[in-house]
Chain A
Amino acid sequence: MSRMRRHKLTDSLFRYFGIFCTFFGLVVLTIFIGKIVLMGIDRIDWNFLTGLPSRKAEKAGIYTAWVGSVWIVVLTSLIALPVGISAGVYLEEYSKKNRWSSLLEINIANLAAIPSIIYGILGLEIFVRTMKFGQSVLSGACTLALLILPIIIVATRESIKAVPDSIRQASYAMGATQWQTVWHQVLPAASGGILTGIILAISRAVGETAPLIVIGALAYVAFVPETPMDEFTVLPMQIFNWTSRPSQAFLTNAAAGIIILLIITFALNALAVYLRYKWQNKIRY
Chain B
Amino acid sequence: MKFRNILSHCFYIVCLTILFDTGCNPGPGIEKSPLKGHIRIDGSSTVYPITEAVAEEYRSFTPGVKITIGISGTGGGFNKFVRREVDIADASRHIKEPERKNLQDSGLEFLEIPIAYDGLAVVVNKDNDWIREISVEELKKIWQPSATGTLTRWNQIRKNFPDRPLRLMGPGTASGTFDHFTEAIVGKAGSSRGDFMPSEDDNVLVQGIQGDINGMAFFGLAFANENIDKLRILSVINEKGSFYPDAENIRNGNYSPLSRKLYVYITNESVKKPEVVDFLMYYLDHVVTVIEDVGYIALNPEQYTEAKASLKSFVSKFAPENLKILDKHAEEVEN
Q: CB of A269 within 8 A of chain B?
A: no
Q: How far is the CA of A223 from the CA of B220 in the complex (A)?
A: 30
| Least CB distance, B288 to chain A, in whole angstroms | 14
Contact B226 A244 (CB under 8 A): no
Query: Within 8 Å CB of A247, what residues of B?
Result: 226
Query: Within 8 Å CB of B67, what residues of A?
Result: 220, 222
| Least CB distance, A224 to chain B, in whole angstroms | 8
Contact A243 B201 (CB under 8 A): yes
Contact A245 B49 (CB under 8 A): yes
Per the 8 Å Cβ criterion, residues 160-217 of A in contact with B are 213, 216-217
Interface size on A, residues (CB 8 A): 28
- Name which of B97-105, B289-297, B309-317 contacts chain A: B289-297
Q: How far is the CA of A222 from the CA of B67 in the complex (A)?
A: 7
Q: CB of A265 within 8 A of chain B?
A: no
Q: How far is the CA of A72 from the CA of B64 in the complex (A)?
A: 25
Contact B53 A55 (CB under 8 A): yes
Per the 8 Å Cβ criterion, residues 129-183 of B in contact with A are none
Contact A223 B66 (CB under 8 A): yes
Query: Within 8 Å CB of A217, what residues of B?
Result: 70
Which of B22, B51, B53 has a CB less than 8 Å from the CB of A50? B22
Query: Within 8 Å CB of A216, what residues of B?
Result: 42, 70, 72, 85
Query: Within 8 Å CB of B66, what residues of A?
Result: 222-223
Q: How far is the CA of A53 from the CA of B45 in the complex (A)?
A: 15
Mark each residue of chain B from 53 to 88: 1 if its CB lies under 8 Å from any CB of chain A, else 0.
101100100000011111110000000000101000
Closest to A247 in B: B226
Contact B68 A55 (CB under 8 A): no
Q: How far is the CA of A223 from the CA of B223 in the complex (A)?
A: 29
Query: Within 8 Å CB of A245, what residues of B?
Result: 49
Task: Name the interface size band of chain B.
Answer: 35 or more
Mark each residue of chain A from 115 to 159: 1 if its CB lies under 8 Å from any CB of chain B, else 0.
000000000000001000001000000000000000000000000
Say yes or no: A52-B71 contact (C-beta < 8 A), given A244-B202, A246-B222, A246-B295.
Answer: no
Which of B45, B49, B290, B295 has the most A CB atoms < 10 Å from its CB? B49
Query: Within 8 Å CB of A63, what residues of B?
Result: 18, 22
Per the 8 Å Cβ criterion, residues 233-252 of B in contact with A are none
Contact A218 B203 (CB under 8 A): no
Closest to A216 in B: B70
Contact A56 B69 (CB under 8 A): no
Q: How far is the CA of A245 from the CA of B66 in the complex (A)?
A: 24
Closest to A219 in B: B71
Q: CB of A111 within 8 A of chain B?
A: no
Q: CB of A221 within 8 A of chain B?
A: yes
Say yes or no: A220-B85 contact (C-beta < 8 A), given A52-B22, A55-B290.
Answer: no
Q: CB of B33 within 8 A of chain A?
A: no
| Least CB distance, B19 to chain A, in whole angstroms | 10
Q: CB of A54 within 8 A of chain B?
A: yes
Say yes or no: A218-B223 contact (C-beta < 8 A), given A55-B293, A55-B294, A244-B45.
Answer: no
Closest to B224 in A: A246
Q: How far is the CA of A223 from the CA of B72 in the complex (A)?
A: 20
Which of A218, A224, A251 has a CB less than 8 Å from the CB of B68? A218
Contact B227 A246 (CB under 8 A): yes
Q: How far is the CA of A214 from the CA of B83 in the complex (A)?
A: 15
| Least CB distance, B320 to chain A, in whole angstroms | 30
Q: CB of B334 within 8 A of chain A?
A: no
Say yes or no: A135-B85 contact (C-beta < 8 A), given A220-B52, A222-B59.
Answer: yes
Contact B52 A219 (CB under 8 A): yes
Query: Within 8 Å CB of A231, what residues of B?
Result: 40, 68
| Least CB distance, A140 to chain B, in whole angstroms | 13
Q: CB of B48 within 8 A of chain A?
A: yes
Say yes or no: A241-B71 contact (C-beta < 8 A), given A50-B22, A135-B85, A222-B59.
Answer: yes
| Least CB distance, A219 to chain B, in whole angstroms | 5
Q: How far is the CA of A244 from the CA of B66 in the complex (A)?
A: 25
Q: CB of B21 within 8 A of chain A?
A: yes
Closest to B71 in A: A219
| Least CB distance, B312 to chain A, in whole angstroms | 27
Say yes or no: A54-B226 contact (C-beta < 8 A), given A219-B71, A220-B68, A221-B68.
Answer: no
Closest to B67 in A: A222
Closest to B70 in A: A218
Per the 8 Å Cβ criterion, residues 38-70 of A in contact with B are 50, 52-56, 63
Say yes or no: A220-B55 contact (C-beta < 8 A), given A50-B18, A241-B71, A246-B223.
Answer: yes
Query: Within 8 Å CB of A244, what residues of B?
Result: 45, 201-202
Q: How far is the CA of A219 from the CA of B69 in the complex (A)?
A: 6
Question: Which residues of A pack against B, CB within 8 Å?
Answer: 50, 52-56, 63, 129, 135, 213, 216-224, 231, 241, 243-248, 251
Closest 8 CB pairs of A and B: A246-B226, A220-B69, A55-B53, A246-B223, A218-B70, A219-B71, A218-B68, A50-B21
With A50-B18, A217-B70, A244-B45 given, name 5 new contacts (CB 8 A).
A53-B56, A216-B42, A219-B71, A220-B48, A251-B203
